[in-house]
């Protein structure tokens, strides 16, 4: 049985069954999106939509509602009839699903005024044409399927094949997915991995682009634009050219022709996502060109079609020498991009990971966010739990993401300017900013492997639409929509697990902002020294006296100097640096006393014991839900909690033993630490 996500037709029907709805969508016109709303109303509500406003009890209408965003809408009850009005049909898609959500949650559906916090609200898939998903933990790709032995073919070795081979072709699932995304306000999706290899390089050309177009049409019906990741070296790899120099006329002409053909197939195509000069991917540096040169080449080709290029700032040296303590990967985004501020085209966006390293359980805000003054920016998150428990350990990420976007960027002239506001201020084109996040779905029956990991996908969309929501509110919403039949106490139990889960995971995986003690091969589980003498530039520098990375300007890597002056001053001083990030910024003795009076070593012991205790508590509380929620969800989470417990125990015992051996300091409470 396929387990639906939050928009379960059955529960929607339950929520509206007391009333008779006659919904009039005639006013929205005859484009595909309005037709989709009509079909959804008929299917989801099992109610007719009528073309006669006189008998409609709910009206969806296009009209000027005086909002900043053309995706915003208002819902009012006028003379006993509910009216959902927005300036565009896109707005009505969001208005319709918002109205449904409020009905299902039992919230008032009158005097609603709603518009998105961010204009671009994007999901990035790291799906590959062989059906696998890079950092995917929920089964195979929903877009692409395995296609046998040619899975191993290398670049340049493309046998003639039937175009359909790389596509899974499960359009029903894609339609369900598009509906889920639209229901939480997502308006952009990139279908393929940022590492564009092998067959994926060809997705941008015929005949494969025609198959992409079939998928794009479905997303389009839900007001979602489709994007593709491209390989910078495509002109050489599939275009027959001998260069990819972004200033070379032939290269520009090749991209222009390619883009023109894409728009023939997909008139509302969104544009490209590009990972260049990063982790071995090709890029403009090979030709002595800058990242702005590279991004602007794509921007030129896309411009006349209204397309955009999203250029990733995740560029760093992955061949660092661990012996050199002045090298610091955290500095890379700023070092590579800060001087290019103001040089990117109007339809180019620079996409920055929210932290300076890589989606870690605990990271400060990337200092490039705040430093760019004349560039369109997007902030990148990862819903896929690469470093956050692989959707085996429960980890509701909204607390971490919301904290990141509410952190002061230091860019305000008078006082705090958080990320959301800052993006508007820095933009060349304020319509071209937003958030992007790596997807966490796959072909697993429940979409996300761990049922509770659905809350992250839901929550990400809600955060993009309304970044003033609290993590708790979003969790409560998701639980009420998803476990609509469960009693209030059961819903509260699930909400409590979600609310505490991010702290719990952090408590055993990243004490005090110290990190990357993760297993090298798959980034799951403890591997204290797996990256310590390695080229990836991620170290904890534990020795017999202390632990942490000295990133101060005075004695360390100088990374702190990339922040605005006042923020840098707070971080530079070990006494004012927040304890939660202490080991990210400072190398301190084990006996260093934190603000709550505990020593660093004691904090490490305490949090690692507490982490396992919390998982035990989850297991106890989850057991009380048997027969109070559906069997599949119950069994799924119960099984994952047992795996999480094994993981948390391993983290606790290895970390505690390691730091005991390093420091020689015993646990003040005399708990069992293996020697
Ligand atoms: C991480 C991740 C890679 C991914 C990269 C990126 O390093 O492990 O799989 O390709 O991020 O964001 O490009």
Domain range annotation of the chain = 9-114, 120-470, 507-663
Please state the length of the chain: 675
Q: Is the CATH code 3.40.50.2300 the one for domain 507-663?
A: no
Instruction: Flag the least confident range among 150-159, 322-331, 389-398.
Output: 150-159
Locus of tokens 């989709």: 36
Instruction: Flag the least confident range among 195-199, 301-305, 337-341.
Output: 195-199
Structure tokens at 59: 């009206």
Catalytic hit among 358, 408, 418, 444: 358
Specify the higher pLDDT residue, 165 or 217.
217
- Phi then psi for 38, rounded to 5 degrees? -60, -45
Give the residue whose CA is nearest to atom 2 of ligand 1: 135
Taking each helix axis from N to C end, the angle separating 600-623 and 631-663, rounded to the nearest 10 degrees, works out to 160
Query: Do 120-470 and 9-114 fall under one CATH topology?
Result: no
In angstroms, what CA-CA distances link 364 with 101, 563, 577?
Answer: 34, 11, 11
The pLDDT value given to residue 47: 65
Instruction: Flag the least confident range among 36-40, 100-104, 281-285.
Output: 36-40
For residue 655, which of 606, 615, 587, 598 has the smallest C-alpha distance? 606
Atom of ligand 1 nearest to the CA of 380: 12
Cis, bond preceding 32 (omega within 30 deg of 0): no
Structure tokens at 643: 């795996």
Specify the higher pLDDT residue, 378 or 157.
378
Structure tokens at 313: 């700032």
Residue 456 Cα, ligand 1 centroid: separation in angstroms? 19
Mean of pLDDT values over 239-252 = 98
E strand or H helix at 378? strand 377-382
CA 149 remoteness from chain centre: 32
Give the residue whose CA is nearest to atom 1 of ligand 1: 358
Asked if 295 and 345 count as a contact pair (C-beta separation under 8 A), the reply is: yes
For residue 557, which of 530, 581, 585 has the smallest C-alpha distance? 585
At residue 517, the 3 state secondary structure works out as coil
In angstroms, what CA-CA distances link 328 with 510, 515, 536, 566, 589?
Answer: 19, 14, 10, 22, 21
Is residue 444 pLDDT above 90, yes or no? yes
What confidence tens digit (pLDDT) does each residue in 543-593 have?
Answer: 999 999 999 999 999 999 999 999 999 999 999 999 999 999 999 999 999
Report the chain's C-alpha Rg in angstroms.
Answer: 25
The pLDDT value given to residue 50: 65
Atom of ligand 1 nearest to the CA of 194: 13
Q: How many CB atoms lie within 10 A of CB 148?
A: 9
Is residue 365 pLDDT above 80, yes or no? yes
> What residues are paired with 47 via a beta bridge?
none
Atom of ligand 1 nearest to the CA of 278: 13
DSSP assignment of 116-151: -S-SEEEEE--B-TTS-BTT--SSS-SSB---GGGG
> What residues are paired with 546 via a beta bridge?
589
Asked if 64 and 76 count as a contact pair (C-beta separation under 8 A), the reply is: no
Catalytic hit among 31, 157, 210, 279: 279
Distance CA(437)–CA(461), nearest Å, equals 10
Distance CA(605)–CA(656), nearest Å, equals 6
The pLDDT value given to residue 467: 96
Residue 537 Cα, ligand 1 centroid: separation in angstroms? 14
Question: What is the best residue among 281, 332, 358 to mutate for testing ligand 1's pocket, by most ligand atoms within 8 Å of CB?
Answer: 358
Is residue 152 pLDDT above 70, yes or no? no
Distance CA(495)–CA(270), nearest Å, equals 36
Question: What is the best residue among 135, 230, 282, 353 to mutate for testing ligand 1's pocket, by most ligand atoms within 8 Å of CB?
Answer: 135
Active site residue 358: yes
Residue 341 Cα, ligand 1 centroid: separation in angstroms? 24
The pLDDT value given to residue 609: 98
At residue 593, the 3 state secondary structure works out as strand
Cα dihedral 563, 565, 570, 573, rounded to 10, equals 90
Q: Quickly list H helices, 123-248.
A: 171-183, 208-221, 234-237
> What residues are paired with 120 via a beta bridge?
434
Q: What is the largest CA-CA distance in the chain?
A: 81
Taking each helix axis from N to C end, the angle separating 488-509 and 398-405, rounded to the nearest 10 degrees, works out to 70
pTM confidence score: 0.95
Q: CB within 8 A of 517, min separation 6: which ones? A: 509, 510, 526, 527, 528, 529, 530, 531, 540, 655
Atom of ligand 1 nearest to the CA of 134: 9
Active site residue 279: yes
Residue 195 Cα, ligand 1 centroid: separation in angstroms? 8
pLDDT band (50, 70, 90) for residue 22: low
Distance CA(145)–CA(131), nearest Å, equals 4
Domain 120-470: CATH superfamily, name plus number: Glycosidases (3.20.20.80)
In angstroms, what CA-CA distances link 356 with 360, 366, 547, 551, 665?
Answer: 9, 5, 19, 12, 32
Distance CA(359)–CA(135), nearest Å, equals 12
Is residue 277 pLDDT above 80, yes or no? yes
Cα dihedral 560, 561, 564, 565, rounded to 10, equals 110
What confidence tens digit (pLDDT) does each residue in 523-532 have?
Answer: 999 999 999 9
Instruction: Report the Cα–Cα distance between both ends of the chain, in Å, rounded.
Output: 49
Region for residue 444 given its phi and psi (left: phi exceeds 0; alpha: psi -120 to 50; beta: otherwise): beta
Rounded to 5°, the CA angle 617-623-626 comes to 155
Residue 102 Cα, ligand 1 centroid: separation in angstroms? 37
pLDDT band (50, 70, 90) for residue 540: very high
For residue 434, which of 117, 656, 646 has the smallest C-alpha distance? 117
Distance CA(377)–CA(370), nearest Å, equals 10
Give the residue whose CA is nearest to atom 7 of ligand 1: 358
Residue 559 Cα, ligand 1 centroid: separation in angstroms? 22
Upper half-sphere CA count for residue 543 (Cβ side, 13 Å): 6
For a pLDDT cut of 70, what percent of the chain falls above it?
A: 91
Is residue 20 pLDDT above 60, yes or no? no
Is residue 31 pLDDT above 80, yes or no? no
Measured over the CA atoms of residue 427, residue 429, residue 435 and residue 437, the dihedral's sign is: negative
- What does the DSSP 8-state code read for residue 41? I
Distance CA(528)–CA(546), nearest Å, equals 15
The CATH code of the domain at 9-114 is 3.30.379.10
Is residue 641 pLDDT above 60, yes or no? yes
Atom of ligand 1 nearest to the CA of 382: 12
Mean of the per-residue pLDDT values for the chain?
Answer: 92
> What residues are paired with 49 via a beta bridge?
23
Q: Counting beta carbons within 10 angstroms of the beta carbon of residue 553, is it exposed (0 to 12), middle (13 to 18) or buried (19 or more)?
A: middle
Distance CA(420)–CA(407), nearest Å, equals 10
Atom of ligand 1 nearest to the CA of 353: 12
Residue 56 Cα, ligand 1 centroid: separation in angstroms? 50
Give the residue whose CA is nearest to atom 11 of ligand 1: 358
Residue 194 Cα, ligand 1 centroid: separation in angstroms? 8
pLDDT band (50, 70, 90) for residue 132: very high
Is residue 12 pLDDT above 80, yes or no? no
What confidence tens digit (pLDDT) does each residue in 137-147 have?
Answer: 999 999 998 64
In angstroms, what CA-CA distances link 402 with 20, 365, 367, 467, 472?
Answer: 39, 11, 17, 7, 11
Give the residue whose CA is nearest to atom 12 of ligand 1: 314
In angstroms, what CA-CA distances link 270 with 115, 303, 634?
Answer: 21, 11, 39
What confidence tens digit (pLDDT) does each residue in 607-618 have?
Answer: 999 999 999 999
Q: Quickly list H helices, 71-131.
A: 89-105
- Which residues are near ligand 1 (CB < 6 Å)? 134-135, 194-195, 275, 279, 314, 358, 386
Catalytic hit among 130, 386, 530, 572: 386
- What does the DSSP 8-state code read for residue 42? I
Mean of pLDDT values over 324-333 = 96
């Amino acid at each position: 049985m396929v387990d639906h996500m939050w928009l379960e037709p059955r529960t929607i029907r339950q929520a509206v069954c007391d009333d008779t709805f006659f919904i009039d969508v005639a006013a929205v016109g005859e484009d595909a999106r309005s037709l989709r709303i009509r079909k959804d109303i008929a299917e989801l509500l099992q109610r007719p939509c009528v073309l006669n406003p006189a008998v409609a009890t709910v009206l969806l209408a296009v009209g000027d509602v005086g909002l900043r965003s053309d995706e915003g809408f208002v819902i009012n009850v006028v003379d006993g009839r509910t009216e959902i009005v927005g300036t565009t049909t896109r707005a009505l898609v969001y208005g319709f699903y918002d109205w449904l959500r409020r009905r299902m949650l039992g919230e008032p559906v009158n005097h609603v005024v709603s518009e998105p916090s961010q204009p671009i609200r994007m999901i990035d898939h790291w799906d590959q044409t062989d059906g696998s998903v890079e950092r995917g933990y929920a089964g195979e790709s929903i877009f692409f399927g395995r296609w046998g032995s040619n899975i191993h073919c290398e670049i340049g070795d493309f046998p003639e094949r039937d175009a359909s081979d790389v596509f899974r072709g499960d359009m029903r699932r894609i339609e369900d997915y598009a509906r889920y995304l639209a229901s939480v306000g997502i308006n952009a999706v990139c279908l393929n991995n940022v590492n564009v290899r092998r067959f994926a390089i060809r997705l941008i050309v015929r005949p494969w682009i025609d198959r992409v177009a079939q998928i794009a049409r479905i997303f389009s019906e839900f007001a979602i634009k489709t994007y593709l990741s491209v390989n910078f070296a495509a002109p050489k790899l599939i275009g027959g050219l001998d260069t990819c120099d972004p200033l070379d006329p032939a290269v520009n002409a090749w991209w222009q022709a390619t883009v023109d053909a894409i728009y023939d197939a997909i008139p509302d195509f969104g544009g490209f996502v590009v990972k260049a000069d990063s982790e071995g991917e090709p890029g403009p540096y090979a030709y002595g060109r800058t990242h702005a040169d590279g991004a602007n080449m794509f921007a030129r080709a896309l411009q006349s079609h209204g397309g955009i290029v999203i250029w990733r700032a995740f560029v760093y040296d992955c061949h660092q020498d661990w012996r050199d303590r002045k090298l610091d990967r955290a500095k890379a985004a700023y070092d590579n991009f800060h001087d290019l501020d103001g040089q990117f085209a109007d339809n180019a966006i620079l996409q920055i990971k929210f932290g300076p390293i890589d989606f870690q359980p605990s990271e400060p805000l990337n200092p490039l966010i705040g430093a760019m003054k004349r560039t369109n920016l997007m902030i990148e998150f990862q819903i896929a739990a690469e470093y956050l428990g692989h959707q085996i350990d429960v980890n509701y990420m909204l607390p971490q993401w919301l904290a990141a976007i509410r952190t002061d960027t230091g860019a305000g002239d008078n006082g705090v300017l958080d990320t959301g506001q800052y993006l508007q201020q820095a933009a060349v084109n304020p319509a071209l900013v937003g958030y992007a996040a790596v997807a966490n779905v796959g072909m697993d029956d429940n979409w996300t492997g761990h049922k509770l990991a659905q809350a992250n996908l839901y929550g990400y969309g809600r955060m993009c639409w309304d970044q003033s929501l609290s993590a708790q509110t979003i969790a409560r919403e998701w639980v009420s929509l998803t476990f609509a039949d469960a009693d209030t106490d059961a819903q509260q139990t699930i909400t409590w697990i979600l609310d505490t889960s991010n702290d719990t995971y952090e408590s055993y995986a990243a004490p005090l902002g110290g990190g990357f003690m993760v297993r090298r091969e798959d980034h799951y589980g403890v591997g204290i020294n797996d990256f310590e003498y390695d080229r990836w530039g991620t170290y904890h520098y534990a020795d017999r006296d202390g632990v942490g990375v000295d990133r101060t300007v005075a004695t360390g890597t100088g990374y702190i100097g990339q922040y605005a002056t006042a923020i840098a001053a707070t971080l530079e001083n070990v006494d004012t640096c927040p304890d939660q990030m202490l080991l990210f910024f400072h190398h301190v003795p084990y006996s260093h006393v934190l603000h709550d009076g505990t020593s660093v070593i004691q904090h490490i012991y305490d949090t690692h014991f507490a982490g396992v205790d919390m998982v035990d508590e989850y297991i106890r509380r989850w057991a009380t839900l048997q027969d109070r929620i559906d069997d599949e969800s119950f069994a799924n989470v119960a099984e994952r909690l047992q795996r999480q417990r094994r993981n948390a125990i391993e983290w606790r015992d290895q970390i505690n033993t390691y730091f005991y051996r390093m420091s020689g300091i015993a646990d003040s409470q005399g708990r069992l630490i293996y020697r």
